[in-house]
Amino acid sequence: MLGYGFPVEHFKMGLALKPHAITIDSGSTDSGPQKLGLGEMTCSREAYVKDIEVLLEAQQATRIPVLISSAGGDGTNLHVDVFRDIVTEIARRRGWHFKVASIYSDIDKSHIARELKAGRIEPLGPVPPLDPREVEAATVVVAQMGAEPFVKALDESPGGVDVILAGRSYDPSPTAAMAIRAGFDPALAWHMGKIMECGALCAEPVGRTVMGWLRHDHFEIEPLNPAERCTTASVAAHTLYEKTHPFLLAGPGGTLDLSQCRYEQVTDRRVRVSGSKFIPSDPYTVKLEGAKTAGWRSIFIAGARDPIFIAQIDAILDEVLANTRAYFADVPPETYRLIPHLYGKNGVMGDLEPVKVPAHELCIILEVAAATQALATAICNKARTSLMHAPYPGRIATAGNIASPFTPLEIPLGQACTFNVYHLMKVDSPTALFPIRHEEI
């Protein structure tokens, strides 16, 4: 992930192997909706400058194209331009020259409204049908591009492209694009891109940098760090990464069928993969992603050690939350939420937790989302003090039920966001929604 850093010495080992492209992903929805909702980036600008400068230095020395996807984490036009500014800043400071293609992925809301009215948009997974009001409420909506816009960007410039800065992209797209453009099997291109999208996460132990070799009937993967190795188990396991089906992986333009894949240990550090199949989709679809602001959030964090208290925590919390809502009876209940998180008691899995064991201590986090920061903090304060002194059967201690590790005791977290567009849209062209800007920097 661009901005997370990588060992430069291992990166240089990869350059010595004379690759045809340097590709790096920069995006994910994993870290939440605030990037789309508030225009934030996954990493700091300073982190992006540090990583991008290493990539640009390699490009200047080798003339190998650098393909960066999902700029800033969310891939909005705003963050593509931030990356463009970073490239410009570095180029001027170092006296370098680049041919840059910027690919944009923001989708005009009026276009989405027309496609929705025409019945060309459907939910992706367990989300409700898209409401036109949600489209308007979204700060920005991006579409996830496939390989075609990258191929177009490379083909459009007669003198070639040094750097591609792309908006929201399907993670394997830049790697797959280079391979598909060179005439290789799209199934192998997409599968190799899937394995390489997280660098050496497919290695043991997991690492940062990885090299892929694509041939006409297979591809091979090997980490660049000599202390790491790819195994058939580690590569097959990463094939299952972020998938809802063990063999089928849908993406822009089609579905990767991995049911007949073969994984072979070529050396003690390298794995060969073959047998992938790609089933084109008709019509072609892209994923839309959007987020909106949804009030303000405050939390408190507390620790509990009393076994009598812990044994009754569900009933105690129910009473505390009921009392808090009664205290704020003048506030419409639909305008705020009280969300407890009990770490040590199903805090990670919630109701899906299969292992029911009593905890000897709890970390209690109460999240309050409300219309204003002041109201969120006030409700949070009331709930915390109620929990602190709540009576319960068998109580012995009188000093308080919980311990607070931080002050302020109620912690304001600022604006809260929620994903409100997560849908598939049919498109007539895989490139029409993604304008490309070519320039020399």
- The neighbour count for residue 19, using CB atoms within 10 Å, is 16
Q: How, if at all, do strands 163-166 and 99-103 pair?
A: parallel
**Phi and psi angles of residue 403, each rounded to the nearest 5 degrees, phi first:** -115, 135
Residue pair 263/272 in contact (Cβ under 8 Å)? The answer is: yes
Coil, strand or helix at 312: coil
pTM of the model: 0.92
Q: Cα 269 to the chain's mean position, in Å?
A: 28
My answer on whether omega of the bond before 174 falls inside 30° of 0, hence cis, is no
Q: Distance (Å, rounded) from C-alpha 249 to C-alpha 191?
A: 9
Give residue 158's pLDDT: 80
Q: Cα 368 to the chain's mean position, in Å?
A: 24
For the beta sheet containing 248-251, the strands, ordered from the edge strand earlier in sequence to the opposite edge, are 248-251, 254-257, 277-280
Give residue 157's pLDDT: 83
Nearest to 274 by CA among 260, 287, 284: 260
Residue pair 274/191 in contact (Cβ under 8 Å)? The answer is: no
Low-confidence ranges of the chain (pLDDT < 50): none
Phi-psi region of 420 (alpha: psi -120 to 50; beta: other; left: phi over 0): alpha
DSSP secondary structure letter of residue 351: G
On the 0-12 / 13-18 / 19+ scale of CB atoms within 10 A, 178 is buried
Give residue 398's pLDDT: 81
Q: How, if at all, do strands 163-166 and 66-69 pair?
A: parallel
Residues whose CB is less than 8 angstroms from the CB of residue 135 and which lie 6 or more positions away in sequence, other chains included: 109, 112, 113, 116, 141, 290, 421
R_g (Cα) of the chain, nearest Å = 25
Residue pair 2/48 in contact (Cβ under 8 Å)? The answer is: yes
Task: Quote the tokens at residue 27.
Answer: 């995006």
One DSSP character per residue, 366-387 reads EEEEESSHHHHHHHHHHHHHHH
Q: Distance (Å, rounded) from C-alpha 278 to C-alpha 300?
A: 49
